[in-house]
Amino acid sequence: MIFEEKTLSSERIYEGIILNLRRDKVTVRNGTSYREIVEHSGGAVAAAINDEGKIVLVKQFRKPVDCVVLEAPAGKIEKGEDPAETIYRELKEETGYTADSMEFMTAIKTSVGYTDETLYIYLAKGLVPGETDFDENEAIEVVEYDFEDAYSMVVKGEIRDAKTVVAILLAKNHLQNQ
């Protein structure tokens, strides 16, 4: 039987724009301990693959890792929004594409040791090009790779963003079985 930690008290440390931080005092097997917890509203992600078998990715500078990151299109779930709405909106905003087919593949917990963040991962197909609609603070470059090349980049460790790694590896499985 695995011990379940009960919350004895909770301290709000920070309330921010994209995250909050709290510190919970919890029961553990031999007494009490503290858990530092980042609250995040979660996001939606797409492995977006066009009719030529190319995957649509985006490049953007990410301050937390201080470099340009190659990523699957993704965005934060707005309050009250269904993740499927989020991914249609973000795919359109970031890449200009709308998708005829949006298949839910999985939902991942990004780092269960300290955050409640969940990312919903979709396979988008039947892509129809259109205008992009970047957020004013976003600075995004859209790039397309042959899907098999992107898959190789994941296996070689050249694509390292977790949501993008999962999106591409699971898309490989789904495409093989279709």
Q: Is 12 in the site for its own copies (CB under 8 A)?
A: no
Q: Is 61 in the site for its own copies (CB under 8 A)?
A: yes
CA 177/CA 118 separation, integer angstroms: 26
Q: Is 9 in the site for its own copies (CB under 8 A)?
A: no
Instruction: Reply yes or no on whether 85 is catalytic.
Output: no
* Two tokens, residue 141: 């470059």
Q: Is 8 in the site for its own copies (CB under 8 A)?
A: no
The 3 state secondary structure assigned to 66-102 is CEEEEECCEEECCCCCCHHHHHHHHHHHHHCCEEEEE
Q: Is 100 in the site for its own copies (CB under 8 A)?
A: no
CA 35/CA 56 separation, integer angstroms: 38
Q: Is 162 in the site for its own copies (CB under 8 A)?
A: yes
The residues, ordered by sequence, that sit 6+ positions from 126 with a Cβ below 8 Å of its Cβ are 51, 99, 100, 101
Q: Per-residue x/- marks for its own copies, 21-50, CB under 8 A? A: x-xx-x-xxx--xxxxxx-x--x-------
Cα torsion 65, 94, 82, 108 to 10°: value is -40
Residues 79-98 within binding reach of its own copies (CB under 8 A): none
DSSP letter (8 states) at residue 165: H
Active-site residue list: 136
Q: Note the residues at the interface with its own copies (CB under 8 A).
A: 2-5, 7, 13-14, 16-19, 21, 23-24, 26, 28-30, 33-38, 40, 43, 59-65, 68-69, 71, 76, 105-117, 119, 136-137, 139-141, 154-155, 157, 160-163, 165-166, 169-170, 173
